[in-house]
Amino acid sequence: MAKSKTFSCSACNASFSKWAGRCETCGEWNSLSETAALSTGPGKKSLGNTRGSTIVLSDLATNETPPPRTLCGVGELDRVLGGGLVSGSAILVGGDPGIGKSTLLLQAAAQFARTGVKTIYVSGEEATAQVRMRAQRLELSQAPVQLAAETNLRDILTTLEAEKPQLVIIDSIQTMWVDNVDSAPGSVSQVRAAAHELTSFAKRNNISIIMVGHVTKDGQIAGPRIVEHMVDTVLYFEGERGHQFRILRAVKNRFGPADEIGVFEMTGRGLSEVINPSALFLSERGEPSPGSVVFAGIEGTRPVLVEMQALVAPSPHSQPRRTVVGWDGGRLAMILAVLEARCGIPFAGLDVYLNVAGGMKISEPAADLAVAAALLSAREDTSLPADTVIFGEISLSGALRPAPQTENRLKEAQKLGFTAAIAPSGGKSISMKGINLRRVTDLTGFVGDFFGAG
C-alpha cells in the first residue's frame, strides 16, 4: 500500500494532504513542499526499559540533583545559557548573516575544549582550511578542537557515534542533508528532519549539540519555527552593523531564565565579553541635549542603562512620520495618544523619531516613562538633568505603574554616577544613599513638574 503524501507550508508550517499553489492558512504563494516521513528510530530495547511505558510522578526521587553544567569560561555565554552548558541539551543559535555567529561559536568551542570537553566543530558552509584560517586570526589555532566539513547527516552521526564527543557544533542546520528526505537542503522538510535527528541523537547519547540557524528578512529563524520547539534553548545573536556591540539573547531556555542577555564587543581579534554593558552603552553620550534620556532597564536578571533618543520636527507631509529603532512602534503610538488625550499635548503635524542608542532593543513596558520624557524634551526643546535616570510604565488612563526590581535599577544607576531618579509612586519604599528618588503619581503631574504644561 502506497504511503500518503503530506505537504507543509514553509511560512506557517500548516500541513495539507495535496499540493496547491497557495497556502489556505496564511495565503502565501508557492510555499508548499512535500514532507517525507521521518525515520522511526531504534527499537524499544536500545533506549531502555522506560520507553513506551508510564511512570507515576510520585514515585520519582525527590532528592535528584539538577543536571550538571559545564562552564566554558566566557562569562556572558555562561550567563545566557543559565549557568553553563547542560549535558544532553540541544541549542539553536540564530542571527543575521555576518553578525558573528561562527566567530562566537568557534571561540566557545576553543574555550570548552581547553577545559577538557571533547568538542567537534562541523561546518557545512566552509572547508576545514577556511575554519583554520579564522582560528588563526582569532589566535585559537592551538585549541584542541576537532574540525569536520560535511553536509551528509548520516555520515556526521556515524562519525559522532565513533568519536563520542561531549559537545558538537553544527554550522549550519540549513546546510545539512538528510538522504531519506526528497527535497533540497535548506527546505522545511530537510531542516525539520535534520533538527529532529540531531536532537534525538543528543538526548540518546547525552551530548550537547549547538546548531546555527540563519535568520530571514523578517527576523525569524529560517524554516520558520519548526526548529524552535524541538530544541531546549533558543539564542538570538543581535547587533547593528554600524556598532561594535553584539547582544546574545535567550528567547527560550528550559534550563535557565529566558530574556537573559550577554553583551559582546566585536574587535579585530574576535568577540570580547563586556562585563559592564551599561557603561559601554553610555560611553558615547555627550553633554545633555533635548530628546536625550537615560532609561534604567532590566534585561533578564541584569540591570542595563541605555540612552533613549527622540527627535520631534515639523512634518512637510500630510501624514507625519513615526520612525522607531530598537523599540515597539505600536507602543510609541500609544504613548503619543496618551500624551494628547490625557495631557493635552498634540503631536499632529510633527514627525517623531525614536532611537535606542548602541543598537540595543528594549521590550519591557517600564521604558514608557523614559520614552514620554524623551518625546516631551525634544518637543519643548528642554534638556533634562544629565545625572537623572527614568523608568516606569504608563497606562491608558495616564496613571503610572511601578516597575519591578526598582532597587536593582537604582543600584546600577548609582554605580555609574547618577544621583537622581524619576519613578512612579507605589510599590515598596526604597531609601538609597546617594540617589535622590523622586516619585510621580501620573503622567499629567510629571509633565507639569518637569515641563510646566499639562
Nearest to 386 by CA among 278, 312, 299, 282: 282
Binding residues for ATP: 95-102
CA distances to 105, 146, 228, 268 from 132, in Å: 14, 11, 30, 17
How far apart are alpha carbons 93 and 176 in whole angstroms? 15
* Placement of cell 525527590 in the chain: 62
> Which single residue is written with the C-alpha cell 543536571?
67
Please provide the DSSP assignment of 11-50 as one string: TT--EESS--SB-TTT--BS-EEEEPPPP--S-TGGG-TT
Greatest distance between any 2 Cα atoms in the chain: 81
Extract the annotated binding site. 95-102
E strand or H helix that includes residue 245: strand 245-253
Helices (H) and strands (E) in the chain, counts: 10, 23
| 288 DSSP 8-state letter | -
The CA dihedral of 142, 143, 145, 150, to the nearest 10 degrees, is: -50
